Every structure is written in structure tokens, then in C-alpha cells.
Amino acid sequence: MSDTSFDVVIIGGGPGGYVAAIRSAQLGFKTAVVEREHMGGICLNWGCIPTKALLRSAEVFRNMKHAESYGLSAQGIGFDLSKVVARSRGVANQLQSGVKHLMKKNKVTVFDGQGKLEGRGKVSVSKDGKAVAQLSAKHIILATGARARALPGLEPDGKLVWTYREAMVPDVMPKRLLVVGSGAIGIEFASFYNALGAEVTVVEVMDRVLPVEDAEISAFAQKAFEKQGMKILTKATVKKLDKLANEVSVTVEAGGKTETITVDRVILAVGIVGNVENLGLENTKVVVEKTHAVINEWAETGEPGVYAIGDLAGPPWLAHKASHEAVICVEKIAGLKDVHPLNTRNIPGCTYCHPQVASVGLTEAKAKELGYEVKVGRFPFIGNGKAIALGEAEGLVKTVFDAKTGELLGAHMIGAEVTELIQGYMVAKSLETTEADLMHAVFPHPTLSEMMHESVLDAYGRAIHF
């Protein structure tokens, strides 16, 4: 076995782990990553990336069905589910190879196996129950991510009741589908299967879909989903699943009434739990709360020399949060002076359904709850030339400002390509931009981004085009 002594050892090769490894190597640390399944983690292989490939296929199919509205014609429109899935897997495999190349390029040693803490500065690596290596390092970063949560009585079986994994590589196209949970994962799969023709029902225990979003955006989204043919049940719970030969009878309680829905497949999207098992944490001072490792602002756990990042370390459960947290953690280890703690209010969230949803910062309700006097601006997609030209006139941009200081507190968007637009507001928040700065900025025409400018203007009674 080659040298097993390192400066930094990272357990987990997802968007937190592999980014930590690259930055560690850039700073001159001798670095190793221990990954038990595949480089790139869930995000690259079974989450963020392959789902976007699926949704892109759905988007193209949707546009094909509306060819006439663009002055085009198309006959015999259809899809091959196996090819749609194969394209998605191909995209994931291509990027996984890219991450492996980055490890070699940065001279990061990769160990294939399960990593486990074995005392101060020690990590054991095993594969299929057999020892692979014993590693030593002054700094150990835990980046083991999370997995889908299962509810009692609603356990997935991989055939009739799916998690995101089975939903991503379906062996059949369900005609009737129930999605339990309307967060980003649930709504993205609901959007994908609905676009391909499934009869989709979404059950959400909260009082609205996409419950972490601004209430106005959630309401807009629900109307859009229902217009597309989805059935949305809020303040609802699944009481029982009865599995038959090739369908599921689902008992749902909503509004004090109970109904039975028969579907071909069920997708569970009810949150995640941290992968804290089999890491050797029980013999350390690492504190675990609700399946997540407790850390300080520098990703340090209670165990000296042990850090935790990404989904393992708690919300927001986003790949870009994990990557940024990784950089902060490693740069703090290196003693760089310009390192700053992560401000979670400046982390954007994106949902790639149709229409897309994106946000950053405080919702209007949360800002008021925190005592802010607010000014709120809104601008609809129907007032934007580029949106109309694209045939995407359904959407809204909403901005929330501190009425006293002009600080941008939050931005909330729904519509075409808002997941690409939200970074503009994120940069503005990070730079502590005021309403005056945004008003004086020149936005190109014709672009969707002009709506961002108009929403700011609207907050102060100065909107031009609506």
C-alpha cells in the first residue's frame, strides 16, 4: 500500500467532499478522499445533475407539443422512456469521470471504501467487510451527505413505492402517480412525470406547496401546477398504503375528509436524514442532533481535528452550500486571513419544475416577523418583451427591501430561467447592495433580467413597463 499519512482526509466524495479535496490540494496539503460508492456523490450521480437532464427532456417534449404556437409543425410526437433515462445516466457518468479527472489533476489520493474514525487522527477504510487501508491525518473532514427519509408505514420497496433513486430510472411510465411531499425533490419529479403524461397527485402536509418559499410564490406555483393538470392536496397526510399486484391503494386525509386514491406508483419525497452511521462517531465528542452533526461557523465539530460539511451538517440541504462550506472549512484550516463564515441568508435555492422557482434571503412574512418595515416590489413576466417572445409569459419577480435602509432582504421568482437569474440578486445581497444601487444598474434589453430591475423599481413606485 502507498503512503497512508496525509494532512487532510475527507470521508465522502460528493459536492462537499471533492471540492474540499481540490481546495485542500491547491493550498499545498497532502490530501485523500475516501468514497464508498461513486465520486460526485448523490448530487452528481443520483440528484442534482441527472434530474436536470430528465427535466430538460420533459421541457423539450413540452415545447414539441406546442410547436404550432411558434409557427412550427411536428407530427408523431412521442418519447422513449428508456432513452430519456439513458441520456440522464450518460450525463451523470460523464460528470463523474470529470470529477475523477480533477482528483488526478490535483494529486488527490482516492480510496474506494467506507471511511470510519478510529481514534484521534485515524481513519480506517474497508470495502465489503475487508480492510483496505489505515489512514492518518491531522484534519479529518466528514462529508458523508444524507439519504431519503422513510416514514413508518410508508417505507419504499423499490417497485411500487419509490425514492428519488427509483424515480430517476423508472422501468415503466406510470399512468397514475402519487408524490408525497412538495419540496424541491417532490415537485421536480411531479413536473417531470406530469409533462410526460402521467396523472399526478401531490400530497403535502403543510398548508401550501413549496412551503419554504414565499407564500405568494407558492400560491402562484400551485395555480400553475393545477393548470397543467396536477391534483394538489395540502394540509394532507397519507394514512395508509395498500400494495396490490401492480398498483397502490392510498388512503389520504385532507380537510377532515378521507379519500382513497389508486395509483401505479408512489414517490416518497419527505425529507432527508444524515449519514451518521458507521463513522465511528460514538467514540468521539462529535454531537449528533436529529441525524446531523453539530458544527460551529468554521465547520468544526466537538472533536478536535474533525469537521463536518454539507448535508451531514444540516440545512440548507443544497449542493452549492456544501461546496462553499468545504472551501471555508479548508481555508480556515490553512489559516487564511480573509475567510468568512457562511451567511445562509445569501444562499439561493432553486427548484427546476415548470415554471421554475428560485429565491434568496427572507420571505416577506419572515422579514415582517423579524421586525422589518418592508417595501415590496413585483413585476410579472407578462410585462417583459423577452418573456413574451419566448412564449413564457407566466411568472413573477418579487423583491423585499428594508424600508428604512434600502437593504435587499429577499428576492423570490417564478418563471422561465429564474434559476439562472437568481444569482444576480445573490451577488447584490452579498455586496450589501441597496435599492439605489440596483436602480442605477443598467440591465440589457431585451432580457428576462430586466424584470429584476423593474421589481426593484416597483418597490419604490417607479416601475416603467407595468
Which residue carries 416577506 as its cell?
Answer: 364
**Residue 35, beta-bridge partner list:** 112
CA dihedral (173, 349, 309, 132) in degrees, to 10, reads 20
- Residue 298: phi and psi, rounded to 5, are -105, 15
Task: State the Cα–Cα distance between residues 400 and 377, nearest whole angstrom.
Answer: 7
Task: State the Cα–Cα distance between residues 204 and 202, nearest whole angstrom.
Answer: 7
C-alpha grid cell, residue 36: 464508498
- Per-residue pLDDT, 43: 86
Known binder of ligand: residue 197?
no
User: Which residues, 6+ apart, have CB-to-CB distance to 442 below 8 Å?
Assistant: none
Q: Specify the length of the chain in residues.
A: 466
Residues involved in catalysis: 445
CATH classification code of 161-270: 3.50.50.60
Task: State the Cα–Cα distance between residues 96 and 40, nearest whole angstrom.
Answer: 6
Known binder of ligand: residue 184?
yes
Flag residues of the chain having pLDDT under 50. Answer: 1
Fold of 5-148+273-333: FAD/NAD(P)-binding domain (3.50.50)
CA dihedral (429, 435, 441, 447) in degrees, to 10, reads 80
Task: State the Cα–Cα distance between residues 14 and 214, nearest whole angstrom.
Answer: 29
Is the CATH number 3.40.140.10 carried by domain 355-459? no
335 three-class SS: coil
Query: What would the DSSP string read from start to end of 139-153?
Result: EEEE---EEE---TT
- Per-residue pLDDT, 91: 96
Domain boundaries, the chain: 5-148+273-333, 161-270, 355-459
Known binder of ligand: residue 311?
yes
Query: What would the DSSP string read from start to end of 329-395?
Result: HHHHHTT-TT-----GGG--EEE-SSS-EEEEE--HHHHHHTT--EEEEEEEGGG-HHHHHHT----
Tell me if 161-270 shares its fold with 355-459.
no
- Per-residue pLDDT, 1: 46
**Residue 248, beta-bridge partner list:** 243, 263
Cβ-contact 109, 94 below 8 angstroms: no
- Burial of residue 114 (CB within 10 Å: 0-12, 13-18, 19+) is buried
Task: State the Cα–Cα distance between residues 408 and 434, nearest whole angstrom.
Answer: 6
Segment holding 400, helix H or strand E: strand 396-402
- Per-residue pLDDT, 2: 58
C-alpha grid cell, residue 369: 416577523
Known binder of ligand: residue 181?
yes
Known binder of ligand: residue 371?
no
Known binder of ligand: residue 73?
no
- Per-residue pLDDT, 181: 96
DSSP label of 367: H
pTM, full prediction:
0.95
User: Which residues, 6+ apart, have CB-to-CB distance to 159 below 8 Å?
Assistant: 166
End-to-end CA, the chain: 68
Query: What would the DSSP string read from start to end of 43-56?
Result: HHHHSHHHHHHHHH
CA dihedral (136, 142, 146, 147) in degrees, to 10, reads 0
